[in-house]
Amino acid sequence: MADSRSASAQLSATPADRPVYVIGAGPGGLAAAYALRARGIRAVVLEKADRVGASWRGHYDRLRLHTTRRLSALPGLKIPRKFGRWVRRDDVVRYLEKYAEHHELEIVTGVEVFRVERAQDGTGWLLHASGGRELTGSAVVVATGYNHTPLLPDWPGRDDYTGQLLHAGRYRDATPYAGRDVLVVGIGNTGAEIAVDLVEGGAARVRLAVRTAPHILRRSTLGWAAQYTGVLVRRLPAGLVDRLAGPFAKATVPDLTAHGLPRPDTGLYSRVRQGAIPVQDVGLIDAVRTGRVEIVAAVESFEDGKVVLADGSRIETDAVIAATGYTRALEGLVGHLGVLDGRGRPVVHGGRAPAQAPGLYFTGFTNPISGMFREMALDAGRIAQAVARHLR
């Protein structure tokens, strides 16, 4: 694996030997680089951090993959059995490091790409990168990550709040919150897991602010992982999956209405199609049922040192942890090319390039019910096949 000290050597390419540039050395970028190399196509991975898997290194300590080890491996290398069924964050990082080393991927660290545009000769792509670099590639794969830039809502009064306010991306473990009153905002998988972590880590009181009740699934039922079902229903009509999921949820997940979490009034897969992934239970159900995690209304604003909720109530708390998601932050990189939708997401992904941008591919910007790692592994092969056709 190359480092930033060898950048000048790695980034020099004649027009007759232009590499495919892969932007981002996370799982999606590494998988795409391997798949391209397996087809005899030179791929150079550009990573702004100093190591691979930078995003994963920054996640909270207790995080595990919510998908199984067997269905989360990238192409060409299995995840070691010793890592267990639900792989820990640190082991994911170890796997990514081993993956890059095992496949001898050409990776240049310390290089950030700011803008991608058509090459002047019309036969490739020009990348504007840190250090004044201008790199010309035959094709480009954008793999900068689904969780790229923390999104902290601009709540009224936020800047005047005197308590601790941080995005979940800065949360590591519960140690600093032992004995404290904490409000977690957002009940996606991150918010749910952080709330449980705080309870188990000794926080005096944990409240979880919820705007829309989520679908909650057991991560595994009698040994059958929720991901397996996700794979099976991936291509079925949303309405059919919704009808099948309802009775299953009632049979496996208790009704938490009395605790502030009613069952959603919209179907599970219909919500997935809108970008709302179900919450996989890692202790939240029991924590809510026993009152260790209290459900409260959504946050509307901050006022006089208190948090104002959507139901008009005001609460005092020592810290607010906003599990409010991330943006893809692709506008500056490729927004001028007309390849993003109204929410800043690529209009196509995997082996499909936008009609107006042949040779430009995206991976890792969807969050499918069948598992993101699995989808990126599949995307890698599709991208490599499409690039091979494009270069011919």
Tens digits of per-residue pLDDT, 196-255?
999 999 999 999 999 999 999 999 999 999 999 999 998 899 999 999 999 999 999 999
pLDDT band per the 50, 70, 90 thresholds, residue 1: low
Nearest to 105 by CA among 204, 177, 2, 14: 2
**How confident is residue 389, by pLDDT bands cut at 50, 70 and 90?**
very high
In the 8-state DSSP scheme, what is residue 129? E
Residue 8 has a pLDDT of 39
At 4, is the pLDDT very low, low, confident or very high (cuts 50, 70, 90)? very low
Hey, what domains does the chain have and what are their CATH numbers? 4-148+328-391 (3.50.50.60), 156-322 (3.50.50.60)
Determine the residue type at 339.
Answer: V
CA–CA separation, 45 and 19 (whole Å): 10
pLDDT digits (tens, 9 = 90+) for 337-349: 999 999 999 999 9
pLDDT at 265 over 50: yes
Cα–Cα distance, 231 to 239 (Å, whole number) = 16
8 Å CB contact between 279 and 190? no
Closest CA to 136 of 302, 20, 224: 20
* Token pair for 313: 């109530």
pLDDT of residue 44: 98
Report the share of the chain in percent with pLDDT over 90. Answer: 87
Q: Maximum CA pair distance of the chain?
A: 67
Average pLDDT, the chain: 93
pLDDT surpasses 60 at 263: yes
pTM score above 0.85: yes
As to burial, measured by CB atoms within 10 angstroms (0-12 exposed, 13-18 middle, 19+ buried), residue 41 is middle
Q: Which pLDDT belongs to residue 12?
A: 43
Look at residue 9 and tell me whether its pLDDT is greater than 70. Answer: no
Note the pLDDT of residue 367.
86
What's the pLDDT at 72? 97
Strands 43-47 and 319-322: what pairing?
unpaired
In the predicted structure, residue 161 carries a pLDDT above the cut 50 = yes
- How does pLDDT run across 94-137, given as a tens digit for each residue? 999 999 999 999 999 999 999 999 998 888 999 999 999 999 99
Helix axes 89-102, 27-38, angle to 10 degrees: 20
Say whether pLDDT at 381 is over 90.
Answer: yes
**What is the four-CA torsion angle of 102, 103, 109, 115, rounded to 10 degrees?**
-150
Residue 33, classed as helix, strand or coil, is: helix
Q: Is the pLDDT of residue 283 over 60?
A: yes
